[in-house]
């Protein structure tokens, strides 16, 4: 490439998702411009079922999810959807397959009275758990 030319390559951030952003769930459309990069697990985290969505926290366990490559504006949109940094913190973690990815994690106080997802794989909102799709419009 000519040194005077600007690069057209888009930097992608890896993001590990484990809830409503997964394929087949209500907020997957937020990843419409992202690149699906496979499935894997996150060790050192525990998944809890809040009804309409799950929340992972640090702990002794494994969470199943999907990995996506998102651009900078896409990452900012996900931060807004996830209520980062108020509801979730975006943390960099090493996944079971060795890749480093952003993961949205909550805190123990947020999940202390809700059930743990025993197998670490969220399958959707509990019956009567509310709407599984965000009503926030895409920017």
Catalytic residue among 58, 60, 72, 82: 82
The closest of 59, 58, 72 to 10, measured between CA atoms, is 72
Which of residues 44 and 134 earns the better pLDDT score?
Answer: 44
Domain residue extents for the chain: 13-111
Which of residues 3 and 17 earns the better pLDDT score?
Answer: 17
Q: What is the mean pLDDT of residues 93-113?
A: 97
Mode of pairing for the β-strands spanning 89-94 and 35-49: unpaired
Architecture of the structural domain at 13-111: Roll (3.10)
Annotation says 66 is catalytic: no
Give tens-digit pLDDT for 47-86. 999 999 999 999 999 999 999 999 999 999 999 999 999 9
Give tens-digit pLDDT for 111-138. 999 999 999 999 998 765 444 444 444 4
For the chain, what percent of residues have pLDDT higher than 70? 85
For the chain, what percent of residues have pLDDT higher than 90? 81
Rounded to an integer, what is the distance from CA 6 to the centroid of its chain?
31
Q: CA 22, CA 40: separation in Å to the nearest integer?
A: 12
The closest of 136, 121, 132, 117 to 25, measured between CA atoms, is 132
**pTM, two decimal places:** 0.86
């Amino acid at each position: 490439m000519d040194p005077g030319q600007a690069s057209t390559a888009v930097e992608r951030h890896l993001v590990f998702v484990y809830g409503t952003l997964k394929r087949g769930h209500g907020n997957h459309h937020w990843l419409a411009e992202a690149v699906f990069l496979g499935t894997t697990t996150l060790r050192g985290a525990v998944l809890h079922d809040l009804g309409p969505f799950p929340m992972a926290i640090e702990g002794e366990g494994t969470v199943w999810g999907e990995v996506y490559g998102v651009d900078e504006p896409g990452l900012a949109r996900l931060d807004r959807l996830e209520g980062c940094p108020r509801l979730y913190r975006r943390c960099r973690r090493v996944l079971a397959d060795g890749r480093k990815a952003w993961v949205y994690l909550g805190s123990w106080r947020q999940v202390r009275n809700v059930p743990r997802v025993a197998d670490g794989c969220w399958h959707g909102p509990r019956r009567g758990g509310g709407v599984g799709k965000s009503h926030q419009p895409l920017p």
